[in-house]
Amino acid sequence: MRIGTVVPMAQGDSHERTPEWEEIRRFAQHAEGIGIDSLWVFDHMYSNVPGTEPRGVHEAWSLLTALAVATEKVELGQLVMCASFRPPAVLAKMAVTTDQISGGRLTLGLGAGWHDQEYRAFGFPLDHRVSRFEEALQIIVPLLRGETVTFEGRFHSANEAVLLPKAERRIPILIAGNKPRMLGLTARYADAWNTAWFWEPNQKLHDRLAAFDEALAAEDREAGSVRRTVGIEVLEADQPSATKRLKDLFTSYSGLPVDDLILVLLPMTLASLDRLGEAIRMGSTG
């Protein structure tokens, strides 16, 4: 099982202020140095909980591209890029460029979006989000696979669009979602799936894993054909007790059809990363 972590990028991740780039860079390089498998960013205009005052957050794609230069080996991904925020063909173009900059380390995470406040503030349409997302996939996916795309939908269109230069490899596509329609789109188009947020495996997680199996079967895909990632929130991650809690957490997922645990360490600090590194080493030595 692989272990990933979200990088600090929003107000409150590690301090009450929005973290500066140098802090984010140090976190990412330290994570890579202790053997973390993957680093992830969120895609939001505000980082607040709905119903509260807006909080600062950095733009996700710019940050991820900077991380592609600041790191060397670790996988880079998004949980997830909001398909509403960028035209689908442009999003595919950005993915190819960032993947090349990273040396082939990008996983393109995609989602339909949900935070109404940021939609209204920045002028994005609130209606038919999943339908818009489905149309976007019909442009993004074939473009990334090297095809020339002509598509005329209700919300999106493309006319003989092609990515030049083309992707140098098959860029993995991850989709996050839990409801039946999103699971169906994931099973049809994606290489990876994310469900969140959890701690130890509970009945809700088992139900979601089973529902995803059903979605894969409906698309005639084998249960193990799509990478499964689970988002985990780790409170008090910098405390000494976190090491054992994390080790026990990893043990609780062994044997489940889960490929990656992607952790949100709270706070997102170097001390929290060190606790995570200790837990990984303890697990590898039994």
pLDDT single digits (tens) 3-28: 999 999 999 998 889 999 999 999 99
pLDDT single digits (tens) 94-150: 999 999 999 999 999 999 999 999 999 999 999 999 999 999 999 999 999 999 999
CB 107 within 8 A of CB 174: yes
pLDDT at residue 286 is higher than 70: no
d(CA 94, CA 109): 13
Question: Rounded mean pLDDT of 69-81?
Answer: 98
pLDDT single digits (tens) 179-219: 999 999 999 999 999 999 999 999 999 999 999 999 999 99
Q: What's the confidence (pLDDT) of residue 15?
A: 85
pTM of this prediction?
Answer: 0.96
The residue with greater pLDDT, 174 or 286, is 174
Q: What's the confidence (pLDDT) of residue 50?
A: 87
The three-state secondary structure class of 5 is: strand
Q: What's the confidence (pLDDT) of residue 283?
A: 76
b/e map 259-285, b = 16+ CB within 10 Å? ebbbbbbbbbbeebbbbbbbbbeebee
**pLDDT band for position 285 (cuts 50, 70, 90):** very low
Question: Rounded mean pLDDT of 167-175?
Answer: 97
Please provide the average confidence, as pLDDT, over all residues in the chain: 96
Assigned token pair, 63 = 């940050």
Q: What's the confidence (pLDDT) of residue 284?
A: 62
d(CA 218, CA 258): 20
Domains within the chain, CATH numbers bracketed: 2-284 (3.20.20.30)
Cα dist. 195→111, 138, 186, 189 in Å?
11, 22, 11, 16
Q: What's the confidence (pLDDT) of residue 41?
A: 98
Question: Rounded mean pLDDT of 51-57?
Answer: 93
